[in-house]
């Protein structure tokens, strides 16, 4: 039996060493995902994956060689399920993806689009409105959240402020960042 057909199955014995091609593509995580976790595409996307119970088939697994987790908005490799691709030339095809070797310029995500996507996910994590979150960061008034916070998420040098800088086109001083009042209501 072909080794590729044995991936994901227990071995019965007698199999020898081999090498296989596994199709991979870069994706954004739509939540906190573990290495090796089975994922689906977020409806309407072939760039964002989730383990949530959306309709749709499992498309593959998060890079099983990662250590730890992939946070919401981070990019990682998606390993497509064995035997799911319909062609292989080291440039593979799959029914869920357009048949093209390289993404066209209009399909590439900009740094600002990624930053906005990450911040929207971050706002959702804390149950906040995206526009209110941005306004609170820019004004320095912050936001009062209903849930407990990880205050380190709002410190100088955090991903939050890096993406705020990108989305707003401004660079905020350490003094502004440290004085911004992000807090919980508890």
Exposure string of 149-160, with b = 16+ CB inside 10 Å and e = fewer, is: beeeebeeeeeb
Looking at the fold, whether 16 and 57 belong to one and the same domain comes out as yes
CB-based burial label for 29 (10 Å; 0-12, 13-18, 19+): buried
Indicate whether 45 pLDDT > 50.
yes
Per-residue pLDDT reduced to its tens digit, 152-162: 778 877 788 88
pTM for the structure as a whole: 0.49
Looking at the fold, whether 57 and 81 belong to one and the same domain comes out as yes
Indicate whether 13 pLDDT > 90.
no
Comparing C-alpha atoms, which of 99, 178, 184 is closest to residue 144?
184
Looking at the fold, whether 121 and 40 belong to one and the same domain comes out as no
Looking at the fold, whether 98 and 115 belong to one and the same domain comes out as no
Given 52, 68, 103, the domain boundary residue is 103
Per-residue pLDDT reduced to its tens digit, 101-151: 555 555 556 778 888 888 888 888 778 889 999 999 999 998 887 767 777
Give me the chain's average pLDDT, please: 82
Given 103, 128, 155, the domain boundary residue is 103
Given 73, 103, 133, the domain boundary residue is 103
Higher model confidence: residue 177 or residue 149?
177
Q: What is the pLDDT of residue 137?
A: 93
Looking at the fold, whether 64 and 98 belong to one and the same domain comes out as yes
Looking at the fold, whether 91 and 36 belong to one and the same domain comes out as yes
Looking at the fold, whether 92 and 125 belong to one and the same domain comes out as no
Nearest-angstrom CA–CA distance, 100 and 113: 22
3-class secondary structure, 24:
strand
The proportion of the chain whose per-residue pLDDT surpasses 70, expressed as a percent, equals: 88
Nearest-angstrom CA–CA distance, 45 and 54: 12
Looking at the fold, whether 63 and 147 belong to one and the same domain comes out as no
Looking at the fold, whether 95 and 176 belong to one and the same domain comes out as no
Other Cβ atoms less than 10 A from the Cβ of 184: the count is 13
Residue 37's domain comprises: 1-103
Mean pLDDT, range 26-49, rounded to an integer: 89
* Total domains, the chain: 2
Higher model confidence: residue 45 or residue 108?
45
Looking at the fold, whether 52 and 132 belong to one and the same domain comes out as no
Q: What is the pLDDT of residue 107?
A: 52
Looking at the fold, whether 120 and 164 belong to one and the same domain comes out as yes
Looking at the fold, whether 132 and 90 belong to one and the same domain comes out as no
């Amino acid at each position: 039996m072909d080794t590729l057909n044995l991936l994901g199955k227990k071995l019965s014995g007698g199999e020898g060493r081999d090498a296989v091609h596994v199709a991979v593509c870069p994706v954004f995580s739509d939540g906190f995902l573990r290495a090796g976790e089975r994922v689906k595409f977020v409806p309407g996307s072939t760039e964002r994956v989730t383990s949530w119970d959306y309709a749709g088939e499992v498309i593959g697994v998060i890079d099983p060689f990662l250590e730890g987790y992939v946070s919401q908005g981070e990019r990682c490799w998606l390993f497509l399920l064995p035997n799911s691709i319909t062609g292989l030339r080291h440039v593979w095809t799959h029914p869920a993806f357009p048949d093209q070797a390289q993404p066209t310029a209009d399909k590439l995500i900009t740094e600002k689009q990624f930053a906005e996507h990450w911040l929207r996910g971050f706002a959702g994590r804390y149950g906040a409105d995206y526009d209110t979150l941005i306004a609170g960061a820019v004004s320095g008034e912050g936001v009062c959240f209903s849930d407990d916070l990880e205050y380190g998420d709002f410190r100088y040098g955090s991903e939050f402020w890096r993406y705020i800088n990108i989305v707003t086109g401004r660079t905020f001083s350490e003094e502004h960042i440290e004085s911004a009042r992000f807090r919980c209501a508890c």
